[in-house]
Amino acid sequence: MTARFSFAIHATDGRARTGTITMKRGEIRTPAFMPVGTAATVKAMKPGDVRASGADIILGNTYHLMLRPGAERVNRLGGLHGFMGWDRPILTDSGGYQVMSLAELTKRSEDGVAFKSHLDGTRHLLSPERSIEIQRLLGSNIVMAFDELVPTTSTREVQASAMERSMRWARRSRDAFNAGGQHAEDNAIFGIQQGALDEGFRKSSADALIDIGFDGYAIGGLAVGEGQEAMFGCLDFAPGQLPVEKPRYLMGVGKPTDIVGAVERGVDMFDCVLPTRSGRTGQAFTRNGPINIRNARFAEDQGPLDPACGCPVCATWSRAYLHHLVRAGEILGAMLMTEHNIWFYQQMMADLRAAITEGRLTAFADDFRARYAARETSGQ
């Protein structure tokens, strides 16, 4: 019988680890990158193509799905897996980040966040209990606790009180998860560490979450504009405050060099809209840094986006063709650029896992940065 949720670490290299999360819907190889399927779709990609890229798990957004098409409707239609045609694990966020960044007229209280939909102005309340209920209705396999976010530039008092409220909400999220029976099914729940960039706040948050007890632990409140150096500064202590035997998930990260640096610091899971969003605007990730395919120098370039890439796009189509499609606003341009970018991220994760297994992560990471950053800093 497959365990509901287990995490086995196969090898470590410095602070980095590689392992496998096992759930009834499938295994998740870590470090893992989760493509973002905001509105029950990884934009411009069919689920089979997402899977072919090497993705073991995708992410869905509670805030977007509760507003459209609605969690109850998705539930009546068989849950997110059946609705969108993805049968492997799905992680859903709690809606906290989006409600505080996208919704209108938000009003925060100890109960939760009251807001008006950014789509049609209808009024809603998102609380720990409602967030967990929505994630249950969606059929989420990894449910996230509902938390409160404040900018890293907020005063220490504001940061401390948001972190403390998030820990009270984490308890309510855990209780609602247990009461809803999700624990007995093939689902897991992760708590989210908050505390901005402050080591003491982060420790208090980690201790509160460990006291409640979760299947995994997310590091929240980073990648919100503080910059890579400040984020890495926080990641020099935050992962070590969390249980070594549980997965650690850095939410909303990030650029390829962010992910490589975070893996070196002991993070196991990531999600980010960057590869999909960039694909739709003409940016391709390559081992020699990002390129903008709209650039005139690619108009007659018959090479692939990335000669080292194993994706179906690079095997078939030239930079010149993609340049044409993107410049002409063709839908296929967005589809192919997205597919390549998702493959790039998944190949990067596979390379990181192999480097950790073989004990050569530092050499791999230094080489990756040297090749990647040369182009990144030249603005191409």
| Binding status of residue 103 toward Zn ion by CB under 5 A | no
Q: Is residue 232 classed exposed, middle or buried when 0-12, 13-18 and 19+ CB atoms within 10 A define those classes?
A: middle
Shortest approach of Zn ion to residue 310 CB, angstroms? 7
**Contact code string over 324-353 relative to Zn ion, x by CB under 5 A:** ----------------x-------------
Shortest approach of Zn ion to residue 305 CB, angstroms? 5
Alpha-carbon 336 to chain mean position: 21
Alpha carbons 150 and 95: distance in angstroms, whole number: 14
Alpha carbons 231 and 55: distance in angstroms, whole number: 25
Locate 64 and state its tokens.
């977007």
Alpha-carbon 200 to chain mean position: 25
Closer to Zn ion by Cβ: residue 100 or 311: 311
Residues with active-site annotation? 93, 271
The residue from 145, 208, 251, 314 that contacts Zn ion (CB under 5 A) is 314
Alpha carbons 259 and 265: distance in angstroms, whole number: 10
Give helix 156-179 / helix 128-138 axis angle, nearest 10°.
50
Shortest approach of Zn ion to residue 347 CB, angstroms? 8
| Binding status of residue 319 toward Zn ion by CB under 5 A | no
Closer to Zn ion by Cβ: residue 134 or 272: 272
| Binding status of residue 311 toward Zn ion by CB under 5 A | yes
Which three-class secondary structure state does DSSP give residue 17?
strand
Q: Is 101 annotated as a binding residue?
A: no
Number of residues that bind Zn ion (CB under 5 A): 5
Q: Is 96 annotated as a binding residue?
A: yes
| Binding status of residue 59 toward Zn ion by CB under 5 A | no
Shortest approach of Zn ion to residue 284 CB, angstroms? 8
Alpha carbons 192 and 147: distance in angstroms, whole number: 7
- The residues, ordered by sequence, that sit 6+ positions from 134 with a Cβ below 8 Å of its Cβ are 62, 65, 66, 71, 95
**Does a cis peptide bond (omega within 30 degrees of 0) precede residue 225?**
no
- For residue 65, the one-letter residue type is L
Q: Is 181 annotated as a binding residue?
A: no
Q: Is 215 annotated as a binding residue?
A: no
Q: Is 191 annotated as a binding residue?
A: no
Q: Which segment (106-114, 168-176, 184-192, 302-310) binds Zn ion by CB under 5 A?
A: 302-310
Shortest approach of Zn ion to residue 34 CB, angstroms? 19
Nearest to 213 by CA among 255, 254, 183, 257: 183
Q: Which segment (183-191, 193-201, 306-314, 326-334) binds Zn ion by CB under 5 A?
A: 306-314
Residues annotated within the binding site for substrate are: 93-97, 147, 194, 221
Q: Where along the sequence are the contacts to Zn ion (CB under 5 A)?
A: 309, 311, 313-314, 340
Residues annotated within the binding site for Zn(2+) are: 309, 311, 314, 340
